[in-house]
Amino acid sequence: MTRRILVLNGPNLNLLGTREPEIYGSTTLADVERLCAQEARRHGLEVTCVQSNHEGGLVDALHEAGAAGDVVGVVLNAAAYTHTSVAVLDAVKAVRLPVVEVHLSNPHAREPFRHHSFLSPVAEAVVAGAGADGYRWAVELLATRHGG
């Protein structure tokens, strides 16, 4: 069984490349997914990429990853749900998979409501402000710590 990493993206990330490029850049979600797949392959892993604009979609994807048995970790950009969702927090805690929280921008340099993350206390690591490279670094971290 090939081991894999779940790359999980929350609301509005399907609009990457066109939504507020001055904040999020011109890289598309498809570009991010390709970057993650390339990095995972470098470590002999695969990725499964899921994007949902719905809180329950993120929770369901986390539950499925936890039950699958072949997932070594989760790269999670919960987007706005980072700052609001106890449900996503509880799902992360319940599945007991290592999670790296990722943000394209630096939430601490933005509006005050973005400064709090429900997920950071249960994440193995947080990568913020590195653009799409943050995803690659998150995959590398999970692969080197948990993939082999």
Which residues are known catalytic residues?
24, 103
Sort strands 46-51 and 71-77 into parallel, antiparallel or unpaired: unpaired
Alpha-carbon distance of 24 to 65, in angstroms, equals 27
Alpha-carbon distance of 47 to 28, in angstroms, equals 17
**Nearest Cα to Cα of residue 72 among 146, 148, 134, 139:** 146
Strand order in the sheet with 99-103: 46-51, 4-9, 71-77, 99-103, 125-128
